[in-house]
């Protein structure tokens, strides 16, 4: 199975705003055809004008609605922080954020962007039980939740997936070696778990 053309890939961060969407955008531009992105929080949260006052939205809120709300609240502030551009980019990829726990699609590879999200995803998958018995590889790239780190994280995820692509149909047999090679070359530790769906 070609990773680029056939592998079903899920990208998951906390709110489906920054890290998962930056990587979603890059992978689609690089020709990956079966990519979805999600968050795991109970609400979508974005920084507010004060640290103790984040902007919170339901996952049913569209990116365009979030954009308009932030623009109305303080256009200059949210433009300067890069949030308006980020949400606008997101709206070009899909209509709204999605919560992983509400999605029952099967995937071949799930990429998470922080340890806490990795744990939530693995627990959710174990609680679902098995249907097809197919292996699902959950891999965590620890990426700080900033626009700059999200770009770097997206590049790392793309590089890792291209390394898997070199093995074509046997990528699942080689995944442990690719993880080791990636960790050695990038200096970034990865978490990996196999869950049967």
At residue 39, the pLDDT reads 98
Report how far residue 186's alpha carbon sits from residue 197's, in angstroms, rounded to the nearest whole number. 30
Residue with tokens 């999600």: 38
CB atoms within 10 A of CB 40: 22
pLDDT for res 153:
97
pLDDT in tens, 62-80: 999 999 999 999 999 999 9
Q: What is the pLDDT of residue 18?
A: 97
Tell me if 183 sits within 8 A of 190, measured CB to CB: yes
Angle, CA of 186, 191 and 194, to the nearest 5°? 130
Q: pLDDT tens track of the chain, all 197 residues? A: 567 778 899 999 999 999 999 999 999 999 998 999 999 999 999 999 998 999 999 999 999 999 999 999 999 999 999 999 999 999 999 999 999 999 999 999 999 999 999 999 999 999 987 777 888 999 999 999 999 999 999 999 999 999 998 887 778 888 999 999 999 999 999 999 999 88
pLDDT number for residue 167: 84
User: What local confidence, expressed as pLDDT, does residue 63 receive?
Assistant: 98
Say which residue the tokens 């709300």 belong to. Answer: 69
Instruction: Give pLDDT, residue 27.
Output: 97
Evaluated on CA atoms 23, 27, 29, 34, the torsion sign reads: negative
Cβ-based neighbours of 154, under 8 Å, separated by 6 or more: 19, 22, 23, 25, 26, 27
Q: Is the pTM of this model over 0.85?
A: yes
């Amino acid at each position: 199975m070609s990773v680029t053309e056939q592998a079903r890939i899920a990208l998951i961060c906390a709110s489906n705003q920054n890290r998962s969407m930056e990587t979603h955008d890059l992978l689609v531009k690089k020709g990956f055809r079966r990519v979805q992105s999600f968050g795991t929080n109970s609400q979508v949260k974005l920084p507010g004008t004060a640290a103790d006052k984040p902007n919170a939205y339901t996952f049913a809120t569209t990116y365009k609605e979030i954009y308009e709300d932030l623009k109305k609240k303080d256009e200059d502030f949210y433009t300067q922080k890069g949030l308006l551009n980020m949400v606008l980019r997101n709206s070009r990829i899909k209509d709204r954020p999605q919560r992983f726990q509400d999605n029952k699609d099967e995937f071949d590879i799930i990429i998470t962007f922080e340890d806490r999200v990795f744990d939530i995803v693995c627990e959710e998958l174990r609680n679902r039980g098995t249907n097809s018995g197919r292996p699902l590889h959950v891999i965590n790239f620890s990426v700080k939740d900033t626009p700059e780190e999200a770009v770097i994280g997206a590049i790392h995820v793309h590089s890792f997936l291209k390394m898997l692509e070199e093995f074509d149909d046997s990528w699942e047999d080689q995944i442990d070696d690719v993880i080791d090679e990636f960790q050695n070359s990038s200096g970034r530790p990865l978490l990996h778990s196999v869950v049967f769906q």
